[in-house]
Every structure is written in C-alpha cells, then in structure tokens.
C-alpha cells in the first residue's frame, strides 16, 4: 500500500513539474489548455495517494505510532499540494487520455546508429522539431534562464525528501540494519530539519496573506 501511495505521489509530482516546465521554459507557443490538463492529472495522482494513505491509517490496526505519524505527514504534504492548485476534477476516462511524462533517454551520438529502427517512441516528433538550430536555440535559452522555482515549492520538496529519509531510517531500524544510537541521532537531526522547514513554510504563508 505504501509503495502504491508513493508511486501515485511521485507521478503527480512528475506531471506538476512537466506542466510548470511547459509553461515557463518552452521556446514554442504555450498550449495553456494542455498545461492545465497536466496539472489536473497531477491532482488526480495526489488525491489517489491521499486516499491510499488515509485508508492505511483507518484500516491497518497494526501500524505503530511512528508509522501513523509519518503517513499523516505525507497526507499533510499532499493537501498542501492540492491547495496550491485548486482545479476542477476530471473523470477517469479523461484522465487516461492525458499522457504521463516520459522518462528522458539520452543516447550518445556514437551509439545513435545502433538504435533499432523498430524502436517505438510515445511522443511522435515532427522532423522539423529536430532541426539543429531549434535545438541550439533551446539549449541557449535554458542556460540563460533556469525554470523559476518558488521558495514555497523548494521548501515543500525538501520536506517531502526529509519525510522520505525519516521513513527509510525507521525501516532500517525495524529490520535491525542500523545501530539504535545512530538511529536516534539521525532521527533527531532530521526531525529538527523538518520543524525548521514547517516554521519557514508558516512564515511564508503569513507573508503572502
């Protein structure tokens, strides 16, 4: 269940980042409807992860207090993500028609001739889109201007990363793969960082009101 919830959260984040990148770093005309639909799919994934985590808390009686606490933190992160982008929900049939972000596969130039011609790509590139001048122009623009990233988003990403690290530490402890003293030391360190991030997020919320 935890893996399913984490998968849906990660897919939501991938859709959200692709939507943001399309909006703020595209060198072609921006299709705002496509960007909004990507964000709607991100919300769909976030809601699924929240649903799975909430179900875990209510139905798994064997969860320890620590496990419940970490799941509750995950749910609070998801809720913050959904508050930030409050959009209409799409039905499942529409969601299925929105393509998920694809992994980027980089093939070295010297190996390109060996890629089988039968390879099928999810995205169909029009030949003119592979024009070397367009690629160089895009590359230059990326170097000149990085994708803007708000302080709040940066903090939310850090919080998600620390929560994941804490969960991994607890798993190591359960499997007796870490010394108890080392576990306590690291847990205190990451909990302190988590509290500092929560405080920073609260301060930002007050500043933007």
Quick one: pLDDT at residue 27? 57
| Sequence-distant (≥ 6) Cβ neighbours of residue 50 within 8 angstroms | 75, 78, 79, 82
3-state helix/strand/coil string of 182-206:
HHHHHHHHHHHHHHHHHHHHHHHHH
pTM higher than the cut 0.85: no
- d(Cα 113, Cα 90) in Å, to the nearest integer? 42
Is 124 a residue whose pLDDT tops 60? no
Quick one: pLDDT at residue 49? 93
53 confidence band (pLDDT: 50, 70, 90): very high
Instruction: Give the mean pLDDT of 66-84.
Output: 87
- Cβ neighbours around 165 below 10 Å, total: 16
130 confidence band (pLDDT: 50, 70, 90): very low
Instruction: Give the mean pLDDT of 83-112.
Output: 77
Instruction: Give the mean pLDDT of 3-9.
Output: 90
- d(Cα 25, Cα 17) in Å, to the nearest integer? 11
Instruction: Share the mean pLDDT of the chain.
Output: 80
Lowest mean pLDDT among 41-55, 77-91, 121-135, 175-189: 121-135
Task: Please provide the size of the chain in residues.
Answer: 209
Is 128 a residue whose pLDDT tops 50? no
Quick one: pLDDT at residue 41? 92
Quick one: pLDDT at residue 100? 82
- d(Cα 209, Cα 156) in Å, to the nearest integer? 18
Q: Which residue has the tokens 């992160």?
A: 77
């Amino acid at each position: 269940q935890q893996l399913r919830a984490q998968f849906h959260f990660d897919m939501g984040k991938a859709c959200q980042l692709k939507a943001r990148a399309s909006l703020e770093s595209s060198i072609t005309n921006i299709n705002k409807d496509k960007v909004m639909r990507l964000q709607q799919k991100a919300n769909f994934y976030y809601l699924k992860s929240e649903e799975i985590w909430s179900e875990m808390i209510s139905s798994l009686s064997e969860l320890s207090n620590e496990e419940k606490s970490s799941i509750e933190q995950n749910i609070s992160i998801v809720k913050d993500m959904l508050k930030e982008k409050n959009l209409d929900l799409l039905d499942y049939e529409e969601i299925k028609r929105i393509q998920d972000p694809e992994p980027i596969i980089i093939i070295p130039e010297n190996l390109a001739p060996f890629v089988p011609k039968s390879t099928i790509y999810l995205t169909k590139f029009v030949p003119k889109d592979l024009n070397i001048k367009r690629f160089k122009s895009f590359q230059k623009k990326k170097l000149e201007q990085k994708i803007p990233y708000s302080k709040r988003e940066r903090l939310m990403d850090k919080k998600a990363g620390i929560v994941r690290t804490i969960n991994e530490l607890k798993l190591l402890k359960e499997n007796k793969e870490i010394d108890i003293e080392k576990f306590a030391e690291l847990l205190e360190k990451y909990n302190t960082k988590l509290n500092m991030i929560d405080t920073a997020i609260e301060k930002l919320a007050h500043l933007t009101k």
